[in-house]
Structure 1
Amino acid sequence: MTTPTPASHLAQLNVAKLRFPLDDPRVAPFVEMLDPVNDAADAAPGFVWRLVEDGEADATGLRPLGDDVIVNLSVWETQEALWDFAYRSGHLEVMRKRRDWFHRHVEAHLVLWWVPAGHVPTVGEAVERLAHLRAHGPSPRAFTFASAHSAADAAGHAPDGEPAAV
């Protein structure tokens, strides 16, 4: 008899460099969309978890990559669930207007990776995955929608001390 392998979930980090401070009136439309979009994510099929700052409704106050860079870190049951939320929901409207609020990306701004179900990735882990993608390109360890890998591909690609997706 074989032991079933635990399910994996898909973690994602995306980053955006602000064109103006969050309290600038030119960014107000983005800020006004934060709560409705986050509420929609929380209710979306396949949503598991998202990073929020202590005592806040979102993570816009966390700036691990610099004062002008905001981060979004979340976990989803499947790649399809994340894709559906990002590109087939009201979230798409925010993405269409992103150039009004954020600089154009000059390097990878989104990274995906598999985690064991129940694992909550840290900001440090997420930033390391983004750095790995930027330095080495897509791999089972750090990839994008365009270069996706399965959880089975990713199994065993974690360094010592970090949970490997299975």
Structure 2
Amino acid sequence: MPRLALYTFGVLKSPLADPAPLTREFYDIGEAVYRKISQYPGYLARAEAAGGEPGVLFEADWRAWGEFDVPAWYDKGRTVETTALATTLSLWTDLRPAFEAVYSGLHREALNRRYDWFERTGHPNYVFWWVPDGAIPTWQDGVSRLEHLHDHGSAPHAFTFHHPFAPEGTPVRRAAL
């Protein structure tokens, strides 16, 4: 049975290494959000770097999730001191559990604060697509799908909660979420 891949990407207002209170707060809530999200029914896995140090993204070993990549529009730093982005890549069983995890609890609280931490870029900040059972999406897949969504809008290849698609490519009524 196909599984749902989710890639998120945001440009932070300041580098991850910034010791300012807002950056520390983002890190603190981010760790708590990850712990909660991983407990949701329907959550399968997320990309985690081997020996993952916070802020080390570009040089990290992501194993089966592939080489780290970012959208073409990201124009900030790529070193531990200058990286100013937050991104995730995860797998889910279906749209409903992903929707429930994203729009409830601690993650919902973090979403309500997103403009405290993130720039408004005019680009989508997440994308979904279906992957065959046993396949692991890569960072390059996520970037490609996010850029496709930006350029062409929601389609079976790359979609959002607002215009979702079933694994066979048919539109899903949003009310079904």
What is the TM-score with the length of structure 2 in the denominator? Answer: 0.77
Runs of 5+ unmatched residues, structure 1: 1-6, 155-166
1:19 corresponding residue in structure 2: 13
Aligned mates of 2:3, 2:151 — CA distance in 1: 24
Q: 34, 48, 57: which is aligned to 1:52?
A: 48
Aligned mates of 2:104, 2:126 — CA distance in 1: 18
Q: Indicate conservation of the 8 Å contact 1:35/1:57, yes or no.
A: no
Structure 1 runs (4+) deviating above 6 angstroms are none
Q: 28, 35, 54: which is aligned to 2:31?
A: 35
Runs of 5+ unmatched residues, structure 2: 59-68, 78-83, 171-177
Q: Indicate conservation of the 8 Å contact 2:47/2:89, yes or no.
A: yes
Aligned mates of 2:15, 2:130 — CA distance in 1: 33
Per-residue CA distance 1:107-140 (angstroms, 9 max, x = gap): 1121110111221101011111111111111111
- How many residues align? The count is 147
Alignment partner of 2:34: what SS?
helix
Q: Indicate conservation of the 8 Å contact 2:16/2:85, yes or no.
A: no
Aligned mates of 2:146, 2:138 — CA distance in 1: 13
Higher relative contact order (CA 8 A, sep 6+): 2
- How far the C-alpha of 1:62 sits from its partner, in A, is 2.0
1:112 corresponding residue in structure 2: 128
The percent of aligned pairs where both chains have the same amino acid is: 30
Alignment partner of 2:168: what SS?
helix
Q: 103, 114, 117: which is aligned to 1:98?
A: 114
What amino acid maps onto 1:12 in structure 2?
Answer: L
Q: Indicate conservation of the 8 Å contact 1:62/1:71, yes or no.
A: no
1:75-90 equivalences under 5 Å are: 75-90=91-106
Per-residue CA distance 1:22-65 (angstroms, 9 max, x = gap): 1321211110112211111111110011011221277x532522
Aligned mates of 1:108, 1:47 — CA distance in 2: 22
Superposed CA RMSD: 1.7
2:161 corresponding residue in structure 1: 145
Aligned mates of 1:92, 1:57 — CA distance in 2: 25
What amino acid maps onto 2:125 in structure 1?
Answer: H
